[in-house]
Every structure is written in structure tokens, then in C-alpha cells.
Chains A and B, each alone.
Chain A
Amino acid sequence: MSDERADERSESTNGAGGEPTRDDAPAFEAARYPDGSITYPAHPVGPDGEAPVGTVDLNEHTAEVITWTTSTATPPGVREPNHVAIVEFDVDGEPVRAIGQVTTGDVDIGDEVEPVYCDQLRDPAAGIREPASQEWDGFRFRPVE
């Protein structure tokens, strides 16, 4: 992926979203297992019961919207409204599903979307979960023009 493309596909932050930054996006990392299956997120062992043997960067792919919703009753630290979707990537014929925020509510089942990096998806200090227990950056999905 070109640097220019990477710049286009990253956003900054906070629960309400923000202006794009020029930082390079990290990998949108899924795990590949010995039987060829891929999962996001990675698990200690995959569907075949074996440990992962590699990773796949989903940021290099687009995905199809399986379903979506707009949540208007969001927990502390989460943007409101919160558009979210389940999407499916096709990685060389292997389906990989992911879930995440969508950049807009103007989306539909079957639409093509691309990952957009966001360095803080919700305010870690506002919810019940210990802020240090997990990462708070990740990828939103944006409809492909």
C-alpha cells in the first residue's frame, strides 16, 4: 500500500471521531492457522485446534457489510450515535469476519467498506473496564466510494 493510501486510511481519535492524521496505520492483524483458516481476533488456538502460524493484515483488503446498526444508547465514553457493522473480508478466498465502528450511518448490507485506523475508539477512562487491560485503538470501516 502506498504512503498516500495509508495516510487516507487513518483517523484520529476520541470517541467522537476526529480529523485524519498523517501517521502510518499499524496492521489490522488477523491470525492464520495451519488449516488455512483466518480469525479476527487471534486466538491461542484456531478452529483446527492448532496455534497460529502467521498473520494477515486486513488493512490491505476491503470487506462486505454483513449487517449493521446505529446504537443511540451508548455506554460512557462511546460516541453517540455509534454506527457499527459486522463485515466480511475475502483473503485469497478465505472468509474473515470482523466487527467495528462505521464512519457513517449511510451504509447498507452488501456495501463494500475499507478499514480506517483510529487511535482511540472510545474513552478508556470512562467505562468499567480497566484501561490498562486492553488496547483502545483499532479500525473503523468506511464505505468505498
Chain B
Amino acid sequence: MEDVAIIGASMTRFGQRDAWIRELLAEAGQACLEDAGMSADAVDHLYVSNMASGEFEGQTGVPNALAHDLQAVPAYTARIDQTSSSGGAGIYAAWQSVASGASEVTLLVGGEKMTHRTTAEATDVIASLTHPCEYKHGLTLPSFAGLTARLYLDTYDAPRESLGKVAVKNHRNGVDNPHAQFRKEVDLETVLDSPIVADPLRLYDFCPITDGSAALLFCPVSVAEEHADEYVRVSGIGGATDTHVVHERADPTTMRGVVESSDRAYEMADLSPDDVDVAELHDMFTILEFLQFEDLGFAEKGEGWRAIESGRTERDGELPINTSGGLKSKGHPLGASGVAQAYEIVQQLRGDAGKRQVDADVGLACNVGGFGNCVTTAILEGVDA
């Protein structure tokens, strides 16, 4: 099996964009090839991470469209849909294609166009991933977050304010991210006084609806050594699922997909949680940052909230979390998010993160689909060729 490197990375500005899905994907794809110094005709496999371009825009067949728009024909293409974790699943597929020897150069582009839909419509498109017994009751991803947050606060005697502090931290980080949807700080009082969306969670506990795209270029480490002065190695990657029906989980505050996928990634990388210097977690809702922090092994169960209280997860803390601003501030264009998480880790490992830069040799990205239904965890390491 080949060791796999990432030699190119890009992302578009996230937010409300005039561009439609094909244009967004092409923008990130072209920028990624330029970042890597590769031409499109070198691409063997082209994957597009996207949840619902058909439902949102009426545009299907986006991988083939992108291959043509980038002049990457006759590259093999496939669409990777794993709902909100489509990006992470795309990283897994791209890694697999190179590690297996099926492809020498694989371009992964994740993207979603959402903001032309109302919040209610977009919420319904996303909620369509639920089981019929959930959908008929009007269950949405935000309502699962409210259910879980209430149970977490009650079970572990965590203060409501700690969730608000996640939003404050991630907004502060987003200020220095030129690609982020929101580049403004919010204070705790604003978060705690914002309108209730799914009690006890309020507006600022939720990520926005977003348009955007991000891309990564993969090749064997042997090719990266020849081609680049520095690159990022995919040291570990793991994917896993949890139950489709959320209420059938024995402990709703544990995301078994996060536990399983990270166990596999740590084992493959021969690393432990203590070795991770920086991480991007899937903070679609503030409560998810606590759950992943614990289930990735960074804290004991029920203790994750203490990390935000102690400053451990701040940019200048012991383990910076979501230096990009996270989904909360950067935005969450479904299929792009997992790719954009890895983009941030690549920037950190290459020393290209500007004001967001932290001291990091090992980074982790955890991308969650549904309410923990599907998860991919990737561990990346910076290498000087």
C-alpha cells in the first residue's frame, strides 16, 4: 500500500455566493491544481463530495461536469455523498484510490450551494437523511442537538455558558480567516440572549447555511518527494457509522462513529490523542465540539466542557480546536466542510495559516454526517521533502 501525500489545497470564500454549484467546484478545483503546480491532465481520479446538488439546485452529474470544466477528461469521476460528512468520505476515497495504486493523482473537490433556499427548506433537505419514524415527527438536525445538549448538561452538570463559550471562541478564530462566512466576534451575553432554536440551544449555537467549495490534491509520497519542497502526509484515516435511528443509541451523548473512526486513524498513524497538536472538529452545533473532544480521546466522558472553561482549546491553548473558526464561524456548505477542515490543517502544517498559525506537526480533522451517523477522522503530518 502506498503512503499518501496531499500536495495541493484550496478553498473558496464561504458565505452567500452568487456562483452556483458548478462554478463553486471549478473555482476550488482550479485553485488547488495551481497550488500544487499540477495540470488537469495529470488527474487520474476526480471525486466530488456533495450531499444534495440535485435537491438544492436541480443539478446532478456534477463530477462529470467538473471534469469537463477543468479539462480533466478522461479522468475517472465519482460523487461522494455521505451527507454532512461527504467531505471526510471524499478524503477517505481519495486516500484509498492512491494508496491502492488505482490512481497516481487524485483531485478531491467538495462543495454545496445552499443559500438560495430558505432556512426552512434547507433544514428539510438536510433532515431528509432521517429515518421515517423521525421525519414524520418533524425531527431536524438542530432538534437532535437540542435533545443531546439538554441530556449532556443534565448528566454531567455542565454549565449552559460553556456551550456559549464555544461559539465565542470559534467566532474569534474566524475573524482571522479570510475565507470565513462570519468574521466578527460575538460576546457571551449576545450568544446567551439570542433566540431559542432548539431549547436549550440558541441561534449562536448553530452554524449558518453556506455556499462554498474546497479542494485537495493527493498523490503517493514518492511522487510528492519529487514534486514538492514540503507536503502533508495522510498518516491515519478511519471511517465508521453509528445507528441511523438516533434514539436507539445506548448513550446519546457518545458518538460511537467518532470513537471507532478515530481509533482506526490513531492505530494506522501509530499515534495517540496526546500527539495531536491542532484539530478541526465538526461544530455544526456547539454541543458537538464537546462530544467529539471526548470521543476523540482528548478528555474523559463528561469532562470535555472543562476544556473551554480552562482555555485549553483556545488558539493559544494546549490543544487549539477549530482555528479556522469551525463550521460555526467559517460556515457549513455540507459537501465542502470536511475538505475545508483538512484545508485548515494543511495550512497549519505548512505554516501558511497567517494570524491563525499555531505550532503544529500533527493535525486531526473529524467530519460528522447526520447526527453522528457517519464519521471520518483523518490525521495529517507535515513533511519537509
In the assembled complex, B248 has its CB within 8 A of some CB on chain A: yes
A138 to B123 CA separation, bound complex (whole angstroms): 22
B-side contacts of A138, CB under 8 Å: 133, 136-137
Contacts A39-B248, A69-B199, A75-B123: A134 and B137 contacting too (C-beta < 8 A)?
no
A67: shortest Cβ distance to chain B, in Å? 4
With a 10 A CB-CB cut-off, give which of A85, A109, A128, A133 has the most chain B CB atoms: A128
Contacts A74-B120, A76-B124: A66 and B151 contacting too (C-beta < 8 A)?
yes
Of A3-11, A53-61, A95-103, the stretch lying at the interface with chain B is A95-103
In the assembled complex, B197 has its CB within 8 A of some CB on chain A: yes
Apart from A69-B147, A69-B150, A84-B137, what 14 extra A-B contacts exist at CB < 8 Å? A41-B133, A66-B247, A67-B147, A69-B146, A71-B197, A75-B140, A77-B138, A98-B133, A101-B137, A109-B150, A109-B151, A122-B137, A129-B135, A133-B132
A145: shortest Cβ distance to chain B, in Å? 23
Verify A122–B154 contact, CB threshold 8 A. Answer: no
The 7 listed contacts between A and B (C-beta, < 8 Å) are A41-B132, A69-B199, A73-B123, A75-B120, A75-B140, A97-B247, A101-B138
Chain B interface residue count, Cβ-Cβ cutoff 8 angstroms: 40
Chain A interface residue count, Cβ-Cβ cutoff 8 angstroms: 39
**A127 CB contact (under 8 Å) in B124, B146, B147:** B124
In the assembled complex, B128 has its CB within 8 A of some CB on chain A: yes
Verify B245–A41 contact, CB threshold 8 A. Answer: yes
B-side contacts of A67, CB under 8 Å: 147-148, 150-151, 154, 252
A109 to B94 CA separation, bound complex (whole angstroms): 44
**Chain B residues engaging chain A, CB cutoff 8 angstroms:** 55, 119-121, 123-125, 127-128, 131-140, 142-143, 146-151, 154, 195-201, 245-248, 252
Verify A72–B196 contact, CB threshold 8 A. Answer: yes
A-side contacts of B125, CB under 8 Å: 128
B236: shortest Cβ distance to chain A, in Å? 30
A134 to B130 CA separation, bound complex (whole angstroms): 12
**Chain A residues engaging chain B, CB cutoff 8 angstroms:** 15, 39-41, 66-79, 82, 84-86, 97-101, 109, 121-122, 127-129, 133-138
A66 to B124 CA separation, bound complex (whole angstroms): 25
A94 to B143 CA separation, bound complex (whole angstroms): 27
With a 10 A CB-CB cut-off, give which of B136, B146, B196 has the most chain A CB atoms: B136
A-side contacts of B127, CB under 8 Å: 75
